Amino acid sequence: MVPPPATDAALTLNPAAAIGDMTLEDLMNVKVTTVTRASSTIGQSPAAVFVITQEMIQRSGATEIPELFRMVPGMEVQRINASEWAVSIRGLGSNLGANLSNKLLVQVDGRTVYNPIFSGVYWDTVHYPLQDIERIEIIRGPGGSVWGANAVNGIINIITKAAKDTTGGYLNMQAGSWERGSATVRYGDKAGEYGQYRVYGMAFDYDGGHSVGGSQHDQWSSGQAGFRYDTAAPSKPAFTFSGDWYSANEGHRNNYPTLTPPTFSATDTAQTDASGGNLLARWTKQSNENNGWMLQTYYDQAQRLGTDGLTNLVVNTGDIDFQKQFTSGFRNKWVCGFGYLAQKIHVTGSNFDNDLAVAPGDLNARQETASAFVQDEIKLKRDLTLTMGSKFEHSNYTDGAYEPSARLLFSRSPEHSAWASVSRAVRTPSILERDLTLTAAPAPPRSAGRAWAAGFFAAHSQLEPGGGKRYRL
């Protein structure tokens, strides 16, 4: 996915003005780009959009990105344990688990963090220095016409600061009883005549929580490092090159009740090692506000190895996107582009003492998606704008999916606007839904520890005809 142009990244706010001192007109003029992939403002965007600015981040007291979403109208955020969150928009989550909202597209500087195996977002790996985030744009509602599959119920676009805005040194250290220790260090400076860079490192260690029995289970420790390099020479495309690497260890404790007699519940504790990294390159050429192009490519690897056996997975993602903006006549502003995404997925099978297994034992899958989109913003009258467009995708799951939308915006003054829209959005099926089968033993359980699988997974599955008890998610 392609992020907004670097030249449109700044907010049109007075830096010295506090959020509480801003007028309604100031709030309506906050820059956004996620709605139509073109620079606009909240007041001129035909969508339910909310922007979390850097000043709001500083005043929130939050230490993790999901905690920031508590201030967004229409979003629900629940912290499950030290490292897991349930984040959803307008109450629409996933039936596979509270922390797997399968209709929410999340991006960091245009790089999608949507996991194809569970169709969710592992928020424990979306961990960045909050001081380096410029803004977070949240769209409540479908955005498939420009962003494609999985932008069904909303879009979260996390946009980090340019390297020129993070020059000098920065050090932050904290200590506490539960958040036992954390440290963030960052340094930025010039690199040549037109270049800027920054490097950062961060680490933290959270103590485990306490259950009724007093045992600790959700301790969380993590380390992360990254860099960003920007250059903007005159008459040449602006260039951005960035990368991140992380490694974390997390504890989990889950209670699995049966849904059929005899009723019981079993406790499962596990450890998960999460690691990964990414590299992103972007070229941008912006002639003016309405004319320019952007080319972006990235590579991302995410790996999770868990002692529970259901989280042994590796996902390699490669993506390339191109976007073009131009005008025609006095009324039409066009945005169009195309992209190609390829993912190589490996899932290692598991076996819970022959009571639960993943079939096939090892899965190697490859998913490819080719896409193109076009959008036209038509100025019907001085205060009336119609935006129409669609995205077209071809993938392993469909020969062709189209996601059209039409948005009508009426703006009588900078302080007042009204809009209406109709859209179609689709979701890509997850690997767990299409390619994996969970097998439970039909015999009565000999112990609670062996019996939780059949009751828990039967609630989310369909019995396969013939061949014994097989449950497919």
Considering the domain 6-472 in this protein, what is its CATH number?
2.40.170
Residues of the chain with pLDDT under 50: 1-19, 24-25, 95-98, 258-259, 351-357, 440-473
Q: Which amino acid is at 26?
A: D
Report the predicted TM-score, pTM, of the whole model to 2 decimal places: 0.81
Provide the residue count of the chain: 473
Task: Quote the pLDDT of residue 315.
Answer: 93
- In angstroms, the CA 473 to CA 96 distance is 9
CA–CA gap between residue 129 and residue 436 (Å, rounded): 36
Q: What per-residue confidence (pLDDT) applies to 265?
A: 56
Whether the Cβ atoms of residue 312 and residue 275 lie closer than 8 Å to each other: no
Do 391 and 105 form a contact (C-beta atoms < 8 A)? Answer: no
Quote the CA–CA distance of 13 and 91 in Å, as a whole number.
Answer: 32
> What amino acid is encoded at 203 in this protein?
A
pLDDT for res 218: 82
Using only C-alpha atoms, the chain has a radius of gyration, in whole angstroms, of 24
CA angle 146, 150, 153 (to 5 degrees): 90
Rounded-to-integer distance, Cα 292 and Cα 326, Å = 7
**CA distances in angstroms from 110 to 52, 159, 248, 352, listed in the order given:** 17, 8, 23, 39
Domain boundaries defined on the chain: 6-472
CA 220 to chain centre: 21
- The H or E element that residue 202 is part of is strand 195-206
Question: Looking at beta carbons, which pairs linking 162-169 to residues 24 or more positions away fall under 8 Å?
Answer: 162/6, 162/9, 162/134, 162/196, 162/228, 162/230, 162/240, 163/188, 163/196, 163/197, 163/198, 163/228, 163/229, 163/230, 164/196, 164/230, 165/134, 166/132, 166/198, 167/196, 167/198
Token reading at 470: 């097989």
Contact call for residues 83 and 250 (beta carbons, < 8 A) = yes
Cα–Cα distance, 367 to 343 (Å, whole number): 5
Core vs surface per residue 392-414: b (16+ CB within 10 A) or e? bbebeeeeebebebebbbebeee
Cα Dmax for the chain: 75
CB atoms within 10 A of CB 155: 27
Contact 251, 221 (CB under 8 A): no
